[in-house]
Structure 1
């Protein structure tokens, strides 16, 4: 059985990229045209769908309604690239409300993509050539808009321990696919390291993560692999090169042994991925393809420069509306663009 894992996928656009992010690119060309070859060998491709994909309630003139929201017509590109399942347990998926969330699930299933991490559903099991894999999905990141949401699974260590116990005798391998950690960091924090150690003891064979938007070092041993963050795979956070370095983690599984490999990926200024180097086999030990600097003292400045340089690209007036609304809210506490929670 051959698996491929990637990190965060946004089919929408961030405020600073209205009109020239992945969503706009996908109206013209296939987002995955430059990486399909590296995914095509896998029996199953997995990733984290960071943003909802639905047109329900969309107001294209309201930046809060348009931000980080994909077009359902573009989901076929994911299916065509080999994605068989996507995690939806993350802090942006219910950003535009419960109706949009449910529509996203429906659209994924319409494209024969399994949404992983939906609350109340059983742990998905994938099988090929007699090899069975269970993938346990959860988010450890507070939701951006609804701290008490119950639409997707939240990371609960006792619950995950029980999930591992319930499936490990039914499958050959148990994989945790977790939304966790902190942005503007290049290594897992102590909380993550403690969870990795605990879940390994509980019986997890692979712990693979996303959310920090930066690719973290991978550590492998004979029976275990930890890849705490696979970085961005499709995302228009293009003001720092660390946010634009990514990769595909390949796992080839037999009944009791595995091999791992890594293919480097880079994102262009639209947040679209391309292969940037040859695939490397991973042995035991730590593999750090990028050795990212831990200094984020200039990240705010870089973000502002990116906005200024790209102000006239794409949807100029939508960007101006966003900035104008942000200034009014910060200085005068006036909200002119409300999210779904404040609408009647």
Structure 2
């Protein structure tokens, strides 16, 4: 239940805390109080009259809900602003392969307007015999490349034992699709003050991803972005996953967190990455995260879905143009060209 309290009745917040804390989770955001696990009928008549409030029942997320937190969350890092009116490009190789290669890819990412360098140092792979990443050395290479081009680092954390170590190198934790419901890991990153990119699981519903975000928020970390990266459907013959573009506006209606689109993992094939990326921008995503590689045929992982440098730069130029078009007032759109 969420209670929206009038400005002249703010003192009732303490009364609500005193009554329900210890038996229910109570969250306060400005003039809104969220109490998990109860409905309006659980309040006394005196409490209803004293609050003189609007009461809504919220079935899923609480701290992530628009009803609790109407304004957009904007995540601010050293080089990026994510969410709200901002559009953020994130790019880099699937895996950090060497210091020299990730430095080269950082230059490419920056040239396309990216402010965040992505790259995996610990890789969750389908086969145990596939390349698993360079570990902490890979993090050092990634950090150095990002710093050289004034970019932020986005990298995946796979288990709670690595949280403290990876925190020394990254600006944003990535929780991969396979770990979306690794609740111990979600709780661990929730105790940090480092932003978290939470990717939707391959079979996760909208409520599943919102509830996963709650595990992070419940620990005190509200710097969360949700990423649509494709889900498993009845057909994966032609693409790796099915990009659920409809989830973007749905999530933006339900939650105040930024919503990012990952066309690389959805498409799985380079030829489909660009149109899916542009569709993600057109539908209103707060940013894109894409994989790039200068020699995809010899990439250590996921080369089939990596954009070559020129492909990436062309895609990025179109993406920023589309973003400008959809956010420009109607009277000015005649001046916008693609």
Which TM-score tier does this pair reach, normalised by the shorter chain? Answer: 0.3 to 0.5
Considering fraction of residues, name the structure with more strand.
Answer: 1
Q: If you compute each CA radius of gyration, which structure gives the higher value, 1 or 2?
A: 2
Higher relative contact order (CA 8 A, sep 6+): 1
What TM-score, normalized by structure 1, do the two folds share?
0.42
What TM-score, normalized by structure 2, do the two folds share?
0.43
Considering fraction of residues, name the structure with more helix.
Answer: 2
